[in-house]
Structure 1
Amino acid sequence: MPASTIADIRTITCSPGRNFVTLKIVCEDGTYGVGDATLNGRELAVASYLADHVAPCLIGRDAHRIEDIWQYLYRGAYWRRGPVTMSAIAAVDMALWDIKAKRAGMPLYQLLGGAAREGCMVYGHANGETIDDTIEAARDYAAQGYRAIRLQAGVPGLAKTYGVSSDRYFYEPADADLPSEAAWATHKYLPSVAPLFAAARDALGWDVHLLHDVHHRLTPIEAARLGKDLEPFRPFWIEDPVPAENQQGFRLIRQHTTTPIAVGEVFNSIWDAKQLIEEQLIDYIRATVVHAGGITHLRRIAALADLYRIRTGCHGATDLSPVSMAAALHFGLSIPNFGVQEYMRHTEATDAVFPHAYRFADGMMHPGDAPGLGVDIDEALAETHPYRRAYLPVNRLEDGSMHDW
């Protein structure tokens, strides 16, 4: 058999502080690649999809045929798209690109056309129970060289607020064996955001980009109101202002505010983003390499967005492993319409399981110049961190009815 023939495929599930699913594809000559298959709160569904349905179909295939394998897994499944299927395809795609770049003896971004910039600007998460707490955290990020900072603060009158954690740097919302419940009140939230941005501009000036995540919680007209409230402070974006199932809602937001809009971390395919991009209803597309079908498919989404002057802003929370972070950086470094990359630090335990070459300096990250993705998995160490069931929270309004988390 040719040296590039796929000889073995392993699915590795571990929890070094949170759950990750990693795919390892090994060729006949021992060359291997890794891919991230993590779907927060539904990890075992993807692990089973890979082990029981995908792996048997790939043994004996040529690992170099990345596009053909992508089409085989997507078109051949009949039941297309969805987070489980697309996360599984993404893991295969990442691993195959890792193998191809290792065989070429170069970092992946070189195979994708080479570097289009010196590094990828990233944003950090400044959060706190109060505005003063958040501003203190934001000052810390600015001192570290961050050029873009996301601001999240507690909402007066609510016991718990999305994005506010007990640790300044590490935030993992999937925190319970069964879903925890939080309360939400839009009328308490909306008046709290503009004062946060006003305080941040006073403290940080105008040379730092400021971002905010709404997390799909508003109606279109409420999101429009928030956008207008924030216009004097020139936010880099407001993220996920409304649920994206009804994409016409973004048209209403556009009619009322010039605040830039970012959306797409829960998108699975180009079809989820097509209308938003073609009608120029968003400014940043946040689809991820792991949930949107891998590097192969994310490049298609970015190419479509580039036609409409829309830039990328890929999701990069800690529910994506260092494998995804590496892939996102190779992708972002190589495309013409990169905007910004979310960067949440992983714990020391996670970094030990996934040794990597990417690095941070002066507000930007670079994937490094190791062949392939430049990230690996220590399987022996991963075995010491067994899977632990963990769910994302759910949200209820103050009257007890369900709301978007």
Structure 2
Amino acid sequence: MNITQVKVIVTNPGRNFVTAKIETSEGISGVGDATLNGRELAVATYLSEHVAPMLIGRDAFAIEDTWQLMSRASYWRRGPVQTAAQSAIDMALWDIKGKALGVPVYQLLGGRCRTGVMAYTHAGAAEISETIDDLQMFIEQGYHAVRLQCGVPGVPDVYGVDRDTSTQPGAGTERPYVEGWDTSAYLGVVPKLFEAAREAVGFGTHLLHDVHHRLTPSEAGWLGKRLEDHRLFWLEDALASDYQSAYRLVRQHTTTPLAVGEVFTSLVDCEQLIREQLIDYVRASAVHAGGLTGLRKIAAFAEPYQVKTGCHGAADMSPITMAAALHFGVSTHNVGIQERALHPEEADDVFPHAYTFSDGYLDPGEAPGLGVDIDEALAERYEYRRGYLPVVRLRDGTLTNW
């Protein structure tokens, strides 16, 4: 079965998504997610102009060889644009193979080793009390794990707290908007948030928190130590991982579990973190780390070091990525949890899918392949709209990490 066409579909059913649809000589097609939030058209162009022409005529079953072709045949390697394109092709080929053999993809990955993947969602509001209300609502909906964020006194538009973007559909806004940041005020409020949460719900629910790359190693170590009594499931992205060795200082000062990796594009980005056991969870995603093949390579390397996965699952990745993550999740031993941010209703219509959520767990379903598709006619109704992610400035105007 040979590849005959690679379609690149850009649509905005509530947010921008890029999809690669591979068609074959046997009439079987497969889909993969190539969305890179805020850089969608860069990936779409790379797929159309460079990747698609070299895939025509290739064996659709040669997944590993195609993955290596996209990794090694290019002198310029890795990076989010290249890897998002590679990820989409990889997902689509797994989808094709599953459909051709009449089995869900997880069966091709070794079969089930768990009945479902525990999911967490996001509770975030301006005030601590409002975040606790959201937490209790999600517990009533069946979640066993919830990420908590809250506003920082004196700081507008803090990450993780809902911001009205109803006038700017898509990823971000038509122009970059500014979020504020004050590390001292942040470090003062977060321990209070988790003290209130544990007082409200006890220790029967897993609690998580995302710093979003805002701290120095010593600040992150202090915060992790301060939160130890509240037994977080993880402290996420406590600092940027540009220098993996920076996590050594954090690890020396706290036993709070550490998670990082939603921006990782390959094993190279986290090899030291895993090998030195500087983190507990690697958050790489199928759409940005080389598809299912890339995720499996990271997980296999991490397993003997007792590092688990916790795949990124934000709403800026399409339901195709969620489906891929769940097939990976039920068939891979060292999977810890799966992030779940709900897609807009329009996106669920454009990408009909077989995966389900029940009693706190996500399941990929039993449909052949990935169990997700794209309604091309419906997708055409939603035109791409340029969208920027925020920028962050300190009180004195200095730019810092978003």
- Given the alignment of the two structures, is residue 256 of structure 1 paired with residue 229 of structure 2, yes or no? no
Letter in 1 for 2:10: T
- Given the alignment of the two structures, is residue 387 of structure 1 paired with residue 384 of structure 2, yes or no? yes
Q: Distance in 2 between matches of 1:310 and 1:152?
A: 25
Q: Distance in 1 between matches of 2:15 and 2:177?
A: 16
Given candidates 24, 36, 41, the residue that maps to 1:27 is: 24
Q: Which residue pairs with 2:152 in the alignment?
A: 155
Moved segments of 4+, more than 6 Å: none
Letter in 1 for 2:9: I
Given candidates 172, 186, 193, the residue that maps to 2:183 is: 186
- Given the alignment of the two structures, is residue 58 of structure 1 paired with residue 55 of structure 2, yes or no? yes
Q: Which residue pairs with 2:271 in the alignment?
A: 274
Q: Distance in 1 between matches of 2:234 and 2:179?
A: 25
The answer as to whether partners of 2:16 and 2:171 remain within 8 angstroms in 1 is: no
Q: Which residue pairs with 1:301 in the alignment?
A: 298
TM-score (norm 2): 0.98
Q: Distance in 2 between matches of 1:195 and 1:183?
A: 20
Q: Which residue pairs with 1:119 in the alignment?
A: 116
Q: Distance in 2 between matches of 1:160 and 1:93?
A: 37
Which secondary structure does the structure 1 equivalent of 2:207 belong to? strand
Aligned residues: 399
Q: Distance in 2 between matches of 1:112 and 1:399?
A: 51
Which secondary structure does the structure 2 equivalent of 1:211 belong to? strand
Q: Which residue pairs with 2:351 in the alignment?
A: 354
The answer as to whether partners of 1:182 and 1:395 remain within 8 angstroms in 2 is: yes
Q: Which residue pairs with 2:203 in the alignment?
A: 206
Given candidates 221, 225, 229, the residue that maps to 1:224 is: 221
- Given the alignment of the two structures, is residue 143 of structure 1 paired with residue 130 of structure 2, yes or no? no
Q: Per-residue CA shift, 1:200-226, capped at 9, x if unaligned?
A: 111111110000000000000000011
Deviation at residue 174 of structure 1 after TM alignment: 3.4
Q: Per-residue CA shift, 1:287-332, capped at 9, x if unaligned?
A: 0100001100110100111010000001000011000000000001
The answer as to whether partners of 1:172 and 1:318 remain within 8 angstroms in 2 is: no
Give the 3 Å change call, closer, same or farther, for CA 225–173 of structure 1 in structure 2: farther
Q: How does 1:311-350 map to 2 (within 5 A)?
A: 311-350=308-347
Deviation at residue 40 of structure 1 after TM alignment: 0.3
The answer as to whether partners of 2:319 and 2:348 remain within 8 angstroms in 1 is: yes
Unaligned ranges ≥5, structure 1: none
The answer as to whether partners of 2:170 and 2:386 remain within 8 angstroms in 1 is: no
Deviation at residue 46 of structure 1 after TM alignment: 0.4
Given candidates 7, 15, 38, the residue that maps to 1:10 is: 7
Q: Per-residue CA shift, 1:256-281, capped at 9, x if unaligned?
A: 11000000000000000100000000
The answer as to whether partners of 2:171 and 2:386 remain within 8 angstroms in 1 is: no
Given candidates 236, 239, 260, the residue that maps to 1:239 is: 236
Q: Per-residue CA shift, 1:348-373, capped at 9, x if unaligned?
A: 10000000000000100000000000
Q: CA RMSD in A?
A: 1.1
The answer as to whether partners of 1:173 and 1:393 remain within 8 angstroms in 2 is: no
TM-score (norm 1): 0.97
- Given the alignment of the two structures, is residue 96 of structure 1 paired with residue 87 of structure 2, yes or no? no
Deviation at residue 172 of structure 1 after TM alignment: 8.7
Q: Distance in 1 between matches of 2:313 and 2:240?
A: 19
Q: Distance in 2 between matches of 1:17 and 1:124?
A: 19
Deviation at residue 166 of structure 1 after TM alignment: 4.5
Q: Distance in 2 between matches of 1:160 and 1:69?
A: 43
Which secondary structure does the structure 1 equivalent of 2:335 belong to? coil
Percent identity between the aligned chains?
59
Which secondary structure does the structure 2 equivalent of 1:163 belong to? coil
Q: Per-residue CA shift, 1:43-97, capped at 9, x if unaligned?
A: 0000001000000000011100000111111100110000000110000000000
Which secondary structure does the structure 2 equivalent of 1:248 belong to? helix
Q: Which residue pairs with 1:370 in the alignment?
A: 367
